[in-house]
Amino acid sequence: MPDDPLPGLAHRGSVNVPERILVRLPNWVGDTVMATPALRAIRAGRPEAEITVEGPPSLRDLLDGLTCFDHFLDDANRGTTATLGRARELRRRAFDLAIILPDSVRSALGPFLARVPRRVGYSRDPLRRVLVTEGPELPRDDAGRRVPIPMVERYLNLSRHLQCQDRGSHVNLTVKPDELQRVDEDLKRLGISPDRKLVVVSPGARFGPSKRWPVEHFSAACDALVERFDLQPLIACAPNEIHLAQEIVAQSPNAIPWRPDGSSTLGGLKALMSRATLAVSNDAGARHVAVALGLPVVVLMGSTDPRHTACNLERQRVLRTGVACSPCHKRTCPIDHRCMTRLAPDLVVSAAEELLG
């Protein structure tokens, strides 16, 4: 690893100027939340640096309010022209160091084309080894196979490679006062009193239908949570998943869709979670938003390996079945989706009782 004469400083000519660091975020909401401990460590380890995080525009709302970076750089477009434009923008900003959290070729291509001198990331294949200049090794077993580790640890290994000391492994987000005010106004509009206890129900999963618990199970769980704990279910999902909320509401007289006009934002979701008593979610972004805000959450997990998210589990209950085909990591189940259909709604009630007990 190249020597750093002073942490947080770069030398351009004979003048010391603040080091300019680019952190390429993951595209997924949950993975970005799980990267917050690494962002916190980088800020602490490079206190004088100017830190820019780069990712899809939707992540701006997600990370808004955190103090572990200075600037947010949108990266919304794909294709050759967009990639070259991105490289020119990165080149113009004259970054000294790029920390590339995702494993994709595209995420590392921009800093490579921009000639960022230090590019830290994992090298999963020969092309990535060309695009990054350094990085930690991926953990492997005695047979040389990759060993799944929590994403929090995966990202912290990159900050540790830069000799940035951990500042805890807890994930964190913040909520803006104007978002809280907007949520309170929305609750009033829906006829929900300020002292009503809420359960945020998140039936979506951007990855694909294999990660989604059946809507009829969500409906039954909503009714059971009302009866057992007197919780008001609010169905929160992305604008392109409104149909899931509508299907749940059609089967449950107790459930209320949250912002059914499709105007949901991640800032609004954070504010809603901060007003809730409990969350019920698939293994998707909403789960990690809830955890980052200290909300107890019941997680329905089927097609994914729990080892990737085995961190900050104190206030989570992860429900899984023991079927042989899970985890498969497929976007769509090729058979009968047994890993999710066999998770009965009464399991959610039992898990909620443990968390709220």
CATH assignment at residue 45: 3.40.50.2000
1 located within any domain: no
Do 182 and 330 belong together in one domain? yes
pLDDT at 57: 94
Whether the CB-CB separation of 215 and 247 falls below 8 Å is answered with: yes
Do 194 and 113 belong together in one domain? no
Q: How far is residue 114's CA from residue 116's CA, in Å, rounded to a whole number?
A: 6
307 located within any domain: yes
Do 153 and 230 belong together in one domain? no
Q: Give the predicted TM-score (pTM) of the model.
A: 0.93
Do 129 and 259 belong together in one domain? no
Do 152 and 184 belong together in one domain? no
Do 185 and 137 belong together in one domain? no
Distance of CA 328 to the CA centre of its chain: 20
pLDDT at 66: 97
Backbone angles phi, psi at 33, to 5 degrees: -60, -40
Backbone angles phi, psi at 8, to 5 degrees: 85, 0
Do 97 and 189 belong together in one domain? no
Q: Is residue 231 exposed (0-12), middle (13-18) or buried (19+ Cβ within 10 Å)?
A: buried
Q: How far is residue 131's CA from residue 70's CA, in Å, rounded to a whole number?
A: 25
Nearest to 226 by CA among 296, 283, 280, 264: 280
Nearest to 208 by CA among 294, 123, 332: 332
Q: How far is residue 17's CA from residue 32's CA, in Å, rounded to a whole number?
A: 29
Q: How far is residue 222's CA from residue 329's CA, in Å, rounded to a whole number?
A: 27
Nearest to 69 by CA among 49, 92, 86: 49
65 located within any domain: yes
Q: Which domain holds residue 258?
A: 177-356
Residue 211 DSSP label: G
169 located within any domain: no
Do 207 and 328 belong together in one domain? yes
Residue 213 DSSP label: P
Do 42 and 124 belong together in one domain? yes
Looking at the structure of the chain, the number of domains it has is 2
Do 149 and 183 belong together in one domain? no
Do 154 and 183 belong together in one domain? no
**Residues in the chain, pLDDT under 50:** 1-9, 11, 13-14, 262
Angle, vertex CA 349, rays to CA 344 and CA 354, nearest 5: 125
